[in-house]
Structure 1
Amino acid sequence: MQTVVLTFDSSLTPLLPLALRGHPVARTWADGATLKHAIEALGVPHTEVGQVLVDGAPMGLEAMLPGRGHVAVSAVAPLVPTAPLHFLCDAHLGATARLLRMAGFDTAYDNNYADAAIEALAQGEDWIVLSRDRELLKRRGIRRGAFIRAREPQAQMREIVMRLRLADVAKPFSRCLECNVPLRMLSPEEASASVPPRVRERQRLFSTCDACRRIYWPGSHWARMNAVLADMLSPQAGVSIDPPEAAERMSRTGSAGA
């Protein structure tokens, strides 16, 4: 048996049991335990861990615990987006998955996914797993992920945007909210047979999903969604993108809104 003292970054302490918060944690571990095992046994998934120092020296999570000494655990830093940006939301984040699609991000969601299936998809396709289930995020096959602390969907979206630095790489209204398929622009003539007469008279920008055949256009519902989305993508600024500016961007990028 070996006794090791662990300290955690203050942002990680809410993940620890209440009795272990706010002070170093001295625990005895069986021989052969890894840093990953010790940290996750205390409630912190590896997806939330940044640098780990063992007596001041950086170590990987798969390294063995020392016989004795001090382990300092830092929180993961906000990430610079790198391709591929594919998200997989678990059953707790259905509404947030829709918001991510609204922002233009490839986002898989199925409330029937079992944890083992999520792990297999994350491992095989390199998805970024978003979850409020810490036990899921502790699975070894999940290399990229984030524990979402907020409970309300818009707050969850702001948290994801800040943590993964998504604001500058978002492509709003470029994916189908239902199918997650990239939208394709339609000419007014192509859309005319499938939209109400009043829409044909007022709108010139249309797009469609080639999977479900829904047609999108920048109507009043789109304007409301745009204001909500702009706030989530710029949570510190607290300002919305003007509808004319967003419509112009939609025209340039080939994206669309409902």
Structure 2
Amino acid sequence: MRSGTAHFRFYEELNDFLPPEKRKKSFPHVFPLTASIKDVIESLGVPHAEIDLILVNGKSVDFSYPLSDGDHVSVYPVFESLDITSITRLHPGPLRKPCFILDVHLGKLARYLRLLGFDTLYDTHYKDSEIVDLAQREHRIILTRDIGILKNKQVTHGYWLRETQPKKQVVEIIRRFDLVRQCKPFTRCLECNGKIIPLSQENNIIQPVPPGVKEMQDQFFQCESCLRLYWQGTHYSKLKTFVDTLLDKNK
């Protein structure tokens, strides 16, 4: 098979996918001449879902571009604020009201995002194909620690988490997608992602309330979907402190 050599340069967080010797600099790469630029880039380890702009010899191209010997390629990450509509954008624009779907390893992060009020799907039984299908049908951003799922050609919005600890991951997501002003804490059920609505004491509370709680609390909240009850007890105070600290640090 005939091969060619192109020079690549990846920018910003895309370097996270590369070995140290290839980060933040131009490097040569040998490729089969029948390959598309998407295939070559993903063979280097960078998923297409995190790419928003490719320049070849100074001109923007799409993923189907047939790479040629001697090409110089610059690859840029998804732009959340910069307007690049005048050139070949590789994905739809950023989702301004972001909702998420998480892979099976991110259960704690799912609870944190729901705590902040974000529509977040998570299920330990999801297969990769189901995650991709739901993301496509419901316009959700895939959050994952599995680079492979982001290489699926159907994925349009996805992000590979660099952090491994859930509390650091939620900070990473807030900063990456500039979410501070969109947070609406305590409006989503931590268990099922349903919307939480207030109840008065006159409402019929279906779920049992622990002894003494009804006498001490004058307001209850309930998930519209699973009917789980919430009230502002000591656990709420701890969560509120966590949320306030998190948002204050990331303003």
- TM-score normalised over the length of structure 2: 0.85
- More off after superposition, 41-50 vs 217-226: 41-50
TM-score by length of 1: 0.83
Paired with 1:82 and 1:76, the residues of 2 have a C-alpha distance of: 11
Aligned residue in 2 for 1:3: 5
Figure out how many residues of one structure are paired with residues of the other and give that number: 237
- Could you tell me which residue of structure 2 aligns to residue 214 of structure 1? 228
* Runs (5+) with no aligned partner, structure 1: 238-258
Question: Which residue of structure 2 lines up, in the alignment, with residue 247 of structure 1?
Answer: none
Q: Which residue of 2 aligns with 1:27?
A: 29
Residues 193-248 of structure 1: per-residue CA shift (max 9 Å, x gap): 843453323322321013322111111111111121233334335xxxxxxxxxxx
Q: Is the 8 A contact 1:47 1:147 kept in 2?
A: no
Q: Contact between 1:192 and 1:200, CA under 8 Å: does it hold in 2?
A: no
1:156 matched to 2:169: yes
Are the aligned partners of 2:222 and 2:228 in contact in 1 as well (CA < 8 Å)?
yes
Task: Please give the residue correspondences for 1:132-151 in structure 2 after superposition, counting only pairs within 5 Å.
Answer: 132-151=145-164
Aligned mate of 1:93, from 103, 106, 112: 106
Unaligned runs of 5+ in 2: 82-92
Could you give the per-residue CA deviations for residues 12-62 of structure 1, whole angstroms, max 9, x where no partner exists?
A: 223113443353221122223222212111111122223221111122233
Alignment partners' CA distance in 2, 1:87 and 1:181: 14
Pick aligned residue for 2:58 from 28, 46, 56: 56
Partner of 1:69: 71
Which consecutive segments of 4 or more residues in structure 1 shift more than 6 A?
none
| Cα pair 1:81 1:165 within 8 Å, conserved | no
Matched, 1:119 2:105: no
What is the distance in 1 between the residues matched to 2:121 and 2:250?
Answer: 27
Contact map agreement 1:5 1:27 (CA 8 A) in 2: yes
In 1, Cα distance between the equivalents of 2:245 and 2:45? 32
Per mean C-alpha deviation after superposition, the further-off stretch among 115-124 and 125-134 is 115-124
Residue 39 (str. 1) matches residue 41 (str. 2): yes
- Give the drift of 1:83: 5.1
Q: Specify the SS of the correspondent of 1:3.
A: strand
The SS at the match of 1:61 is coil
State the identity as a percent: 37
Distance 1:208 1:75, change over 3 A: same
